[in-house]
Amino acid sequence: MSEQQGPRPWPPRAGLEPSDHWDPAEAPLPAADGLSAEDAETSRRWRLVLGISSVVLGLASGFYAFTNIVAVVGATRAIEANGGYVPQGAMAMAVAIIAIFGVLALGYAVVGIWNIVVRQGTSAAPLAAAIVIAGIASILIVLYMVSTASIGLQAVGLALNALIIGRAIRLLRMKKAAAS
């Protein structure tokens, strides 16, 4: 019979002596499937940047939708208090704009969180989703800038969307490492 010294460590630490110290924070991160170590680190870093940028844009889009709701409700109450009414066409347009920015905010948040969660992998799906959302948002921003003939905070949103599209395309084009 073998003599046990104290409880068995769980999980088993095969080959480690009691004097050995293992710190998970010092352990190297595993390379993403099929990428060189350098490209895997670049992929992780940029997927995190894309995810955080998407979440920030989602919060901004949600805030924009919320401020539009407040403005529409306030304007409608003011018009009705003066005995007027809001035409259905104008109300339908306001509701459509609010709905589009609400859905866009939700899409940004989902895609951003998805890219953050799967930053260790090489899946193309979250990057493609980021390109689609950023492309749709870019088109909406350009349409807004043309219709109002103003360039303001929308230029920052356009630049962030361009960053997302450019970096996502660069990550999708990374070369797979040759099999050893």
What's the pLDDT score for residue 7? 59
- For the chain, residues with pLDDT lower than 50 are 27-32, 177-180
The rounded distance, in Å, linking the Cα atoms of 1 and 151 is 81
Per-residue HEC secondary structure of 118-139 comes to CCCCCCCHHHHHHHHHHHHHHH
What's the pLDDT score for residue 13? 55
**Concatenated DSSP letters of 13-26:** -TT--TT----GGG
Note the pTM of the prediction, 2 decimals. 0.69
Amino acid, res. 51: G
Do 104 and 61 form a contact (C-beta atoms < 8 A)?
yes
Q: What is the pLDDT of residues 43-62, one digit of tens each?
A: 888 899 999 999 999 998 89
Helix (H) or strand (E) holding 157, with range, is helix 153-172
What's the pLDDT score for residue 8? 56
What's the pLDDT score for residue 130? 93
What's the pLDDT score for residue 152? 79
